[in-house]
Amino acid sequence: MGERALRLAAILLLAIGCRQELPAPDRDHLSADALRFARHLMARDYAAAHAMTTADYRARVSIDSLGRAFEFSVPRSMSPVDSLFVQMTDTMAGWAVRQPGDVGWIYVVIPADSTRDGEAVSLIFAREAEGIRIRDVEIGRP
């Protein structure tokens, strides 16, 4: 198992064991944004998804890199866009990866089609001058 997969697995295990659900207003707003981001990915509109990220993320990860990472895990034959759903949210209180400005974590499930297992997108949201944006993107399930 690669380092990235181990990191995502550790985050998920921590989230499941120590989960602190986001308060309703934040959860609803961030969940809607997370679903919109995932729908952009499923529609292969990587520029729109990329635009929802923080300035730091946009500087580190190109639109093409985001698209390649997504298509590696989620082929074009996967689930229709309307089957996405938010499975977990968390405040990230006590998480080692939490940074100043972080407001929450959202795990969006991309359900399986009949030929393969499903996938997921794990997102960390952070507050910056432009508002709340996606600071980190992990594509794939643990």
Residue ranges of E strands in 41-130:
85-90, 102-110, 119-128
The two tokens of residue 126 are 């952070």
pTM of the predicted model as reported, rounded to 2 decimal places: 0.79
CB 13 within 8 A of CB 19: no
Residue-level pLDDT, tens digit, the chain, 142 residues: 455 554 555 555 444 445 555 554 577 889 999 999 999 999 999 999 999 999 999 999 999 999 999 999 888 777 666 688 888 778 888 888 889 999 989 999 888 765 567 789 999 999 998 899 999 999 987 7
Q: Which residue has the tokens 């590696």?
A: 72
